[in-house]
């Protein structure tokens, strides 16, 4: 558990370097959003072989390549991880299980939300920062622990920025783990240029407008043009969000 900018995504890379390369090890990264996988694959170009599995890109040839250890890092969504028969043929195969060196769950706090959805017995709409990140999470996602328990003694790495104690307990319960079976590390923000600012929202759909109050008056006077552009951008984002949900 560490703040943005700590370098959590480097942990799997360092771990991979420590593994014997002759066995063609594979690190599996479970992302709640396809966009995250695409970004991480882009970062690894030239250093590692990586692939982001989507409904459009995942086929029998790709499945065979993954089984044979062609890709060092495999990124996929819970949708494919749980509901793809083609992925099951790879994941539960002896060849892949022997290569599987680490299972990473990025944004691990999502397990808590998936568990809530499962307990409610209905699908739920989870809204993220960007409109393109909006996605329906189905109740079956709460059963993700069943698949995760089927690997051959492979380490499990959970990455998250922050998480309440009740959510941590719920995640451990979902994954059928106890605190004596895990090592929890708390990292501090190391990049001083990044800061987390809490702003109270007046409206869930027009919350971008609240950012305007964050800039002091002297900033507005000195940078009136930039402020006007920012205001226009914020208003456009709010209007787009309103039309999307209308």
Is residue 53 in some structural domain?
A: yes
The pLDDT, as a whole number, for residue 61 is 92
CA 143 – CA 157 distance, rounded (Å): 18
| Domain extent at residue 99 | 9-181
Pair 86, 42 in one domain: yes
Pair 177, 201 in one domain: no
Pair 173, 227 in one domain: no
- Model-wide pTM > 0.75: no
Is residue 3 in some structural domain?
A: no
Is residue 32 in some structural domain?
A: yes
Which string of b and e fits 185-198 if b means at least 16 CB within 10 Å? eeeeeeeeeeeeee
Q: Domain count of the chain? A: 2
Pair 26, 101 in one domain: yes
Per-residue pLDDT tens digits of the chain, which is 246 residues long: 666 666 677 788 888 888 888 888 899 998 875 444 455 555 555 577 888 888 778 899 999 999 988 989 998 887 788 888 899 899 988 898 888 888 888 876 666 565 454 455 444 444 333 333 334 444 455 567 777 776 667 888 888 777 777 777 777 777 777 888 877 776 665 555 656 666 677 765 555 666 666 666 555 455 454 445 545 555 554 444 444 334
Pair 83, 147 in one domain: yes
Is residue 19 in some structural domain?
A: yes
Pair 148, 52 in one domain: yes
Is residue 187 in some structural domain?
A: no
Pair 160, 60 in one domain: yes
DSSP bridge pairs for 106: 159
Pair 116, 223 in one domain: no
Q: Which residues contact 218 (CB under 8 A, 6 or more apart)?
A: none
CA 238 – CA 203 distance, rounded (Å): 10
Pair 45, 154 in one domain: yes
Pair 128, 211 in one domain: no
Is residue 1 in some structural domain?
A: no
The pLDDT, as a whole number, for residue 168 is 78
CB 8: neighbour CB atoms within 10 A? 19
Task: Among 181, 207, 233, identify where a domain stops.
Answer: 181
DSSP H helices, the chain, are: 10-17, 34-43, 60-67, 78-83, 85-91, 94-99, 110-120, 144-148, 165-174, 217-222, 224-245
């Amino acid at each position: 558990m560490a703040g943005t900018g700590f370098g959590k995504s480097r942990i799997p890379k360092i771990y991979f370097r420590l593994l014997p390369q002759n066995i063609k090890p594979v690190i599996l990264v479970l992302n709640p959003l396809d966009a995250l996988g695409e970004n991480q694959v882009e970062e690894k170009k030239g250093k590692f072989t990586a692939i982001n599995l989507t409904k459009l890109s995942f086929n029998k040839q790709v499945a065979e390549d993954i089984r044979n250890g062609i890709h060092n890092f495999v990124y996929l969504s819970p949708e494919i991880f749980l509901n793809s028969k083609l992925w099951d043929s790879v994941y539960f195969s002896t060849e892949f299980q022997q290569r599987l060196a680490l299972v990473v769950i990025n944004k691990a706090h999502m397990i808590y939300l998936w568990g809530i959805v499962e307990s409610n017995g209905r699908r739920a709409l989870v809204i993220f920062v960007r409109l393109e990140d909006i996605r329906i999470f189905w109740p079956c996602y709460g059963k993700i622990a069943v698949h995760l328990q089927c690997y051959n003694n492979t380490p499990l790495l959970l990455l998250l920025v922050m998480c309440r104690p009740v959510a941590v307990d719920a995640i451990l319960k979902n994954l059928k783990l106890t605190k004596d079976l895990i090592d929890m590390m708390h990292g501090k923000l190391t990049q001083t240029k990044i800061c987390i600012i809490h702003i109270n929202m007046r409206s869930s759909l027009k919350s971008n407008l609240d950012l305007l109050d964050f800039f002091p008056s002297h900033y507005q006077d000195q940078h009136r043009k930039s402020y006007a552009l920012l205001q226009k951008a914020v208003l456009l984002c709010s209007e787009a969000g309103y039309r999307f949900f209308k």
